């Protein structure tokens, strides 16, 4: 196509977009919301302008379950850490996705979580969870004596004389808000140009010093930067934290790299637009495309990879409330079992000096040079709150690494990096943090316990969510009548095994021993072999999950929804049991059908494609290649077969 023809198409598309009132984001007038997303998600639904917007209550699908009918959490059937030690404890044995889903499964899932859900936290009551140092299944030391836990604060006007509700502080839509934020103040700081209370003099590009996300001190005064969560080591060095659209961007190097990827993608799109467009026009076009790209990846790659099949799209439905549900946000989307205990970036040796590799290794990262490539093994405890490490390793190697290995199986087992030492830094006496990978040395590296599995159970009670069977019936699924019906195992009784000598088998550490491992083809893998660390997808323990559940809960009616959901037998070809898959199906259909700007319903996207040659229909692999130069497989959600 010749330049004149292209220029003519561009002019036509611009006229059409101008007719769609592409006003500056963040300063959208009330009547402009019909044609442009607001930053906070308000007025997406023109009949119900607060549906899905930031700062509203999560909606409930099932009736709340509080002990007093209003706000007091129901009593647990057993202490949360007690359940965690017997059900969630993975015994340092990795089990991988039976469908070969790569680590992009959990990485993209977290990126989306930070796009549509963030509960309010300020002012929540402290209610620490008990920790029993004398539990025979406890391997960790906890100098604090309890597990820190604070309730989600009650939404204003709730919990005293009526049912306690909780607030989602960000909007519910898949709209790129993790890149742009939900407020004009944050967006102005993120955009290149002055911060003076108006975006009319800002560049269309996002601020990316040296091609990286801006640090808190990027504009001089770190105290004036938008809020960002300071976790782990960042509490001591807060100015090292980077700033993005979401406050959790520093949580781990994989998440940070994904934030950076889409900030670069925004700038790539801006640079591809004609210079004749105004900065606001270029910004709004790029923002519109980035949001559509994230939707396209979520619905065309992410969900199919996990086995979540939705009903056919029939267009926007103004009667569908896309506001995130409490059941999804506080329970169903918590697929923490998928998260790998370490990240494994892979780069080119030529891209690093010997001093750079030595510096990376000194921070607790294992490095191995294999010919022209260098492979890194980064424990999650090192990946947490460590933005400088992401910059030193590089975005490309991290993107490659996430697609190079299968994620963990989405079962009842949670890696100890999350189940016991979440966000913690190894003790000062640990000279070589690289020994603090998941395995026998791990308990010796830390002096406190923060258990994400225990917190997940407690959060369900905190938010007043139903127990397991009640939640199943709320989602139209039949109640389970036995523990083996939940797990699909053959027995809910403990075996007559000489290794189990305790008069209370549930308190005997040997009940968690693995006795058999199998790979994806069903072949037996020798225990303690190299293949056991990388190929196992099925693990048989000395006792069944059903037997341990029965010993803890007594009756199926006592099982909490989180534990029961994770213990379910998977639906063939998916990463989920029936309940979790149904929760995801309903939620992602609502996020699709109730979004007026969903990519299949947005008339501006075809105009942008025809006028400027910019297409939102791009895979995650294409976006990675264009913005990092990393060579990745066409489907990054599918781990390579060894």
pLDDT tens track for 497-551: 888 877 899 999 999 999 999 999 999 999 989 999 999 999 999 999 999 999 9
Please report the pLDDT score of residue 2 as a whole number: 43
Any long-range contacts for 549-555 (C-beta under 8 Å, 24+ apart)?
A: 549/87, 549/483, 549/486, 549/487, 549/492, 550/483, 550/492, 551/86, 551/494, 551/505, 551/506, 552/77, 552/78, 552/82, 552/83, 552/86, 552/87, 552/506, 553/77, 553/78, 554/77
Q: Is residue 169 predicted with pLDDT exceeding 90? A: yes
Q: Is residue 19 predicted with pLDDT exceeding 60? A: no
Q: Give CA separation, 378 vs 256, 326, 342, 433, 528, in Å.
A: 14, 33, 5, 10, 22
Please report the pLDDT score of residue 440 as a whole number: 63
Confidence label for 434 from pLDDT (cuts 50, 70 and 90): low
Q: Is residue 33 predicted with pLDDT exceeding 80? A: no
User: If you average pLDDT over every residue of the chain, what do you get?
Assistant: 93
Decide if 66 contacts 464 (C-beta within 8 A). yes
Please report the pLDDT score of residue 87 as a whole number: 98
Query: Would 537 be classed as within a structural domain?
Result: yes
Look at residues 622, 593, 616, 590 and name the one whose alpha carbon lies nearest to residue 603.
616
pLDDT mean over 602-625: 96
Please report the pLDDT score of residue 28 as a whole number: 42
Q: Is residue 421 predicted with pLDDT exceeding 90? A: no
Distance CA 374, CA 390 (A): 15
Write the pLDDT tens digit of every residue in 108-120.
999 999 999 999 9
Please report the pLDDT score of residue 327 as a whole number: 98
For residue 223, give every residue at least 6 positions away whose Cβ sits within 8 Å of its Cβ, in sequence order, or none: none
Give the burial string for 151-174 (b: 16+ CB within 10 Å, else e). Answer: bbbbbeebbeeebbbbbbebbbbb
Distance CA 174, CA 254 (A): 20
Confidence label for 21 from pLDDT (cuts 50, 70 and 90): very low
Alpha helices in 173-252 (DSSP H): 177-180, 184-190
pLDDT mean over 12-31: 45
Please report the pLDDT score of residue 135 as a whole number: 97
Confidence label for 22 from pLDDT (cuts 50, 70 and 90): very low
Q: Determine how many CB atoms are found less than 10 A away from the CB of residue 370.
A: 9
Beta strands across the sheet bearing 538-541: 524-525, 514-518, 538-541
Please report the pLDDT score of residue 333 as a whole number: 98
Query: Would 536 be classed as within a structural domain?
Result: yes
- In the DSSP assignment, the letter for residue 119 is B
215 backbone dihedrals φ, ψ, rounded to 5°: -80, 170
Confidence label for 381 from pLDDT (cuts 50, 70 and 90): confident
Write the pLDDT tens digit of every residue in 122-156.
999 999 999 999 999 999 999 999 999 999 999 99
Confidence label for 433 from pLDDT (cuts 50, 70 and 90): low
Domain count, the chain: 1
For residue 622, give every residue at least 6 positions away whose Cβ sits within 8 Å of its Cβ, in sequence order, or none: none
Please report the pLDDT score of residue 431 as a whole number: 64
Range of the domain at 523: 505-541
Confidence label for 8 from pLDDT (cuts 50, 70 and 90): very low
Please report the pLDDT score of residue 501 as a whole number: 78
Please report the pLDDT score of residue 437 as a whole number: 64
pLDDT mean over 186-194: 97
More confident residue, 340 or 174: 174
Q: Is residue 578 predicted with pLDDT exceeding 90? A: yes
Query: Would 513 be classed as within a structural domain?
Result: yes
pTM across the whole model: 0.94
Query: Would 378 be classed as within a structural domain?
Result: no
Confidence label for 455 from pLDDT (cuts 50, 70 and 90): very high
Judged by average pLDDT, the poorest of 177-191, 270-284, 415-429, 473-487 is 415-429
Q: At what angle do helices 604-612 and 279-297 cross, to 10 degrees?
A: 110
Confidence label for 30 from pLDDT (cuts 50, 70 and 90): very low
pLDDT mean over 373-391: 94
Please report the pLDDT score of residue 4 as a whole number: 41
Judged by average pLDDT, the poorest of 41-50, 432-441, 604-613 is 432-441
In the three-class reduction of DSSP (H, G, I as helix; E, B as strand; rest coil), residue 404 is classed as helix
Query: Would 255 be classed as within a structural domain?
Result: no
Query: Would 145 be classed as within a structural domain?
Result: no
Query: Would 519 be classed as within a structural domain?
Result: yes
Query: Would 636 be classed as within a structural domain?
Result: no
Q: Is residue 20 predicted with pLDDT exceeding 80? A: no
Q: Is residue 86 predicted with pLDDT exceeding 80? A: yes
Confidence label for 32 from pLDDT (cuts 50, 70 and 90): low
Please report the pLDDT score of residue 424 as a whole number: 78
> Counting Cβ atoms within 10 Å, is residue 553 exposed (0-12), middle (13-18) or buried (19+)?
buried
In the three-class reduction of DSSP (H, G, I as helix; E, B as strand; rest coil), residue 84 is classed as helix
Write the pLDDT tens digit of every residue in 551-571.
999 999 999 999 999 999 999
pLDDT mean over 162-183: 98
pLDDT mean over 574-590: 98
pLDDT mean over 586-593: 98
Confidence label for 441 from pLDDT (cuts 50, 70 and 90): confident
Please report the pLDDT score of residue 17 as a whole number: 54
Q: At what angle do helices 620-628 and 253-272 cross, to 10 degrees?
A: 80
Please report the pLDDT score of residue 527 as a whole number: 95
């Amino acid at each position: 196509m010749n330049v004149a023809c292209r220029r003519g198409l561009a002019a036509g598309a611009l006229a059409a977009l101008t007719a769609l009132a592409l006003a500056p984001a963040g300063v959208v007038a009330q009547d402009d919301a019909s044609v442009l997303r607001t930053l906070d998600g308000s007025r997406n639904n023109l009949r119900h302008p607060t549906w899905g917007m930031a700062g509203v209550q999560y909606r409930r699908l099932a009736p709340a379950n509080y002990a007093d009918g209003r706000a007091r959490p129901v009593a647990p059937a057993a202490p949360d850490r007690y359940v965690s030690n017997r059900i969630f404890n993975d015994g340092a044995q990795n089990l991988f996705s039976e469908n070969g889903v790569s680590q992009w499964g959990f990485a993209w899932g977290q990126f989306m979580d930070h796009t549509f859900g963030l509960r309010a936290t300020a002012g929540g009551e402290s209610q620490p969870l008990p920790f029993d140092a004398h539990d025979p299944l406890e391997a960790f030391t906890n100098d604090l004596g309890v597990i820190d836990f604070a309730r989600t604060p009650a939404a204003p006007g709730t919990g005293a004389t009526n049912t306690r509700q909780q607030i989602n502080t960000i909007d519910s839509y898949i709209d790129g808000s993790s890149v742009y934020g939900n407020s004009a103040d944050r967006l102005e700081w993120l955009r290149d140009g002055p911060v003076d209370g108006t975006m009319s003099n800002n560049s269309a590009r996002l601020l990316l010093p040296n091609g990286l996300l801006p640090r808190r001190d990027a504009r001089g005064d770190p105290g004036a930067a938008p809020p960002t969560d300071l976790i782990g080591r960042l509490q001591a060095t807060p100015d090292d934290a980077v700033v993005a659209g979401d406050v959790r961007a520093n949580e781990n190097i994989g998440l940070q790299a994904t934030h950076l990827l889409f900030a670069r993608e925004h700038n790539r799109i801006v640079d591809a637009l004609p210079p004749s467009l105004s900065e606001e026009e270029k910004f709004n076009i790029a923002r519109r495309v980035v949001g559509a790209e994230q939707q396209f990846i979520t619905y065309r790659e992410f969900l199919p990879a996990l086995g979540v099949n939705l009903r056919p799209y029939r267009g926007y439905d103004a009667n569908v409330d896309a506001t995130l549900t409490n059941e999804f946000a506080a329970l169903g989307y918590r697929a923490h079992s998928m998260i790998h205990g370490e990240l494994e970036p892979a780069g080119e040796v030529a891209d690093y000096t010997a001093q750079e590799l030595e510096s990376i290794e000194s921070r607790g990262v294992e490095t191995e040079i294999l010919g022209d490539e260098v492979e890194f093994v980064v424990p999650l405890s090192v990946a947490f709150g460590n933005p400088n490490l992401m910059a030193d390793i590089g975005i490309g190697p991290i993107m490659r690494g996430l697609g190079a290995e299968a994620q963990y199986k989405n079962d009842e087992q949670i890696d100890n990096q999350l189940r016991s030492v979440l966000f913690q830094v190894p003790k000062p006496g640990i000279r070589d943090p690289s020994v603090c990978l998941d395995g026998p040395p791990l308990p010796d590296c830390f002096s406190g316990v923060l258990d994400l599995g225990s917190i997940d159970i407690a959060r369900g009670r905190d938010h007043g969510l139903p127990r397991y069977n009640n939640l199943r019936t709320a989602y139209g699924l039949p109640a389970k009548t036995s523990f083996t019906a939940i797990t699909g195992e053959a027995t809910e009784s403990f075996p007559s095994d000489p290794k189990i000598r305790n008069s209370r088998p549930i308190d005997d550490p040997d009940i968690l021993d693995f006795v058999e491992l199998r790979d994806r083809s069903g072949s037996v893998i020798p225990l303690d072999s190299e293949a056991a660390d990388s190929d196992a997808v099925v693990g048989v323990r000395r006792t069944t999950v059903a037997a341990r559940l029965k010993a803890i809960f007594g009756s199926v009616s006592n099982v909490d929804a989180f534990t029961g959901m994770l213990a379910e037998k998977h639906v063939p070809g998916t990463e989920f049991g029936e309940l979790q898959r149904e929760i995801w199906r309903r939620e992602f259909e609502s996020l699709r059908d109730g979004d007026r700007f969903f990519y299949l319903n947005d008339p501006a996207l075809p105009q942008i494609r025809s006028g400027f040659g910019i297409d939102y229909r791009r895979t995650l692999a294409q976006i990675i290649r264009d913005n990092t130069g990393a060579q990745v497989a066409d489907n990054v959600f599918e781990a390579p077969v060894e």
